[in-house]
Amino acid sequence: MRTLEWDREHQQLKMIDQRALPGELKWLTLSTHLEVAECIHTMAARGAPAIGAAAAYGLALAAARSRAANAESLKQELRQAAARLGATRPTAVNLAWALKRVMAKSEGFAGSAAELAALTLAEAERIANEDVDANERMAAFGAALIRPGETVIHHCNTGALATVDWGTALGVIRKAHEQGKGIRVLVDETRPRLQGAKLTAWELQQYGVPFEIISDNAAGYFLSRGEAQRVLVGADRVAANGDVANKIGTYMLALAAHANDVPFYVVAPTSTFDHAVASGKEIPIEERDPAEVLELEQDGMRVAPAGAQARNPAFDITPHTLVTAFVTENGVVYPPYEKTLRELKAGQ
């Protein structure tokens, strides 16, 4: 089941509303690029590959709803739509990557407005299909690294929900399970939005993978006791030197894994690697509404005292020195990353 797909009959985009999980599997029907932008901003759609594909479909919606008389007028509308979609989430590079890819096709096109609209949709569909293919290949490469009976710590959500289908790090776990390796997963809650407890746990239930939810700050405890043999995470952007921007808490998890000699793998498609950014210092970090931290409740009562303030960075930077290897659709990449990632780019 794809988490987002195009409805050809009605020229609409259908996607799972991740905010409703795990209580309800709810589908949204989107008719305009503004609706897609709102879904990305409010995290109805989340996960770097998923929001990239959603943004591409957002441009297809803009083209489908346009009344432009010619291709040049439609191109201007697409530029405006791309600017709106691109402003929704600044950290994940897949968003900008997908928009640039569709717009590159548009800018170089000479034909009618109707033909341009069809081309825009075709490119969005291509991006979505390529994502599924890349994820399945990553799953095979990554599963080969997992030994039978191992316990894996996983942070955030990197499954089918975060992509078009299959997923990145969670796709690796799913593949290892299907291969009969008898693995289990310790699922970080991933505060403050709890993507691990809400989404990863739900996905693992669907696949029948044994798991236990742990608080984020318990990961070091299990690593120090030898109760986890691998750590798998995804990425929202990878710099040219291998520094990784990923969901907040990833850096602390990487430090704990490094201190206990536990391999720390980042599973990400090549579209997530931003070779124009030299290091993680150049990656913008989104700060979300402090209410996500302050309005957490326990037993029906707000945890934070009235009048308290909070900081809420959505991502952190894990230095490349803490990454054991990257698992991509083109294979597993090991240090030295400034060399091997450059070779990865050259081979694309």
Catalytic residue set: 236
Question: Using an 8 Å Cβ cutoff, are 171 and 138 in contact?
Answer: yes
Residue found under tokens 């742990």: 214
How far, in Å, are 112, 193, 228, 275 from residue 49 at the CA level?
30, 19, 27, 17
Q: What angle do CA 277, 189, 163 make, to 5 degrees?
A: 50
Residue whose structure tokens are 């089941």:
1
Closest C-alpha among 199, 143, 196 to residue 172: 143
For residue 74, give Cα distances in angstroms to 79, 83, 126: 9, 14, 21
**Residue at token pair 């998923």:** 50
CA separation for the pair 286, 91 (Å, rounded):
6
Contact (CB, 8 A) for 336 and 241: no
Return the amino acid letter for 113.
A
CA-wise closest residue to 209 among 137, 151, 136: 151
Look up residue 260 and give its two tokens.
Answer: 């206990």
